[in-house]
């Protein structure tokens, strides 16, 4: 009697994948990363705070105080920032970037105010800025940042990446989110490129 479709499937399913140790899974990412370290695209910058950085941060903070009032009045209930708020963020970024060209690492707007993080010196290749809204319950914060930077979401330090079509990927140890299809189903995040009108 010839094999039926179901019988064949059952036979195929008898092939199991040999298990690897927990130690293997723990070390595999580090092993890959160690191979990548020689790649020129993996940039490692020393970001020790300097006098110039502190001075710059002070100026930026002063600048942000005025803007804080503006942002604090914006509604925070909606998941996605409305166009006028995005326009405001674009303006904020432009003003701060004008003061500190290619030094803005992130600008975070939350209830406590604006938090601006600058790099020690201008970065060689500045990519397009992007805007992320991260919500935890009713509380939301908006982050202007770039591909390649890291942001804190809950207990996780997450990487922010942007592909060539402008899709934003946010990935941590326990989650991954993509602006194209929100693959993780993580409803805490919305995002868009800041340059897009």
Partner 1 sequence: MFGALIQNHQQMIHSLTYRMTGSMADAEDLAQETFIQAFKRIQTFREEARFSTWLYRIAMNASLDWLNRNARREATQKEWVYSNADNSAGETRAARVEGALLKLKPKQRAAITLTVYEGMNHAEAARILGCSETTVSWRVFTARRRLKQLLQNDHDGETLMEEWT
For partner 1, give the closer residue by CB, 43 or 91. Answer: 43
Cross-strand partners of 118: 104
For partner 1, give the closer residue by CB, 1 or 69. Answer: 1
Q: Residue 57: is it exposed, middle or buried by C-beta count within 10 angstroms (0-12/13-18/19+)?
A: middle
Considering the complex, what minimum distance in angstroms separates the CB of residue 184 from partner 1? Answer: 9
Considering the complex, what minimum distance in angstroms separates the CB of residue 42 from partner 1? Answer: 8
For partner 1, give the closer residue by CB, 17 or 98. Answer: 17
Q: How far is CA 8 from CA 16, 18, 59, 71, 146, in A?
A: 15, 21, 70, 63, 50
Considering the complex, what minimum distance in angstroms separates the CB of residue 13 from partner 1? Answer: 8
Rounded Cα distance between 158 and 175, Å, is 9
**For residue 151, which of 188, 111, 194 has the smallest C-alpha distance?**
188
For partner 1, give the closer residue by CB, 1 or 51. Answer: 1
Q: How far is CA 145 from CA 29, 33, 138, in A?
A: 25, 24, 22
Rounded Cα distance between 197 and 193, Å, is 9
Residues found near partner 1 in the complex (CB under 8 A): 1-3, 5, 7-9, 11-18, 20, 25, 28-33, 35-36, 39, 41-42, 148, 150, 158-159, 161, 163-165, 167, 169, 171-173, 176, 178, 180-181, 183
For partner 1, give the closer residue by CB, 20 or 73. Answer: 20
Side-chain-side CA neighbours of 18 within 13 Å: the count stands at 3
Considering the complex, what minimum distance in angstroms separates the CB of residue 117 from partner 1? Answer: 16
């Amino acid at each position: 009697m010839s094999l039926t479709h179901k019988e064949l499937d059952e036979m195929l399913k008898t092939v199991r994948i040999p298990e690897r140790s927990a130690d293997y899974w723990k070390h595999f990412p580090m092993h890959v990363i160690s191979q990548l370290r020689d790649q020129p695209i993996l940039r490692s910058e020393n970001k020790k705070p300097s006098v110039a950085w502190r001075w710059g941060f002070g100026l930026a903070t002063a600048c942000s105080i005025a803007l804080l009032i503006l942002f604090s009045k914006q509604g925070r209930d909606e998941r996605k920032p409305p166009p006028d708020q995005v326009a405001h963020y674009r303006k904020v970024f432009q003003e701060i970037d004008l003061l500190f060209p290619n030094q803005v690492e992130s600008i975070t707007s939350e209830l406590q105010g604006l938090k601006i993080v600058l790099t020690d010196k201008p970065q060689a290749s500045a990519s397009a800025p992007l805007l992320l809204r991260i919500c935890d319950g009713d509380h939301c914060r908006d982050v202007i940042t770039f591909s390649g930077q890291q942001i804190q979401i809950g207990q996780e330090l997450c990487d922010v990446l942007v592909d060539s079509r402008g899709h934003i990927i946010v990935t941590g140890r326990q989650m991954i989110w993509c602006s194209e299809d929100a693959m993780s189903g993580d409803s805490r995040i919305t995002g868009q490129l800041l340059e897009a009108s």
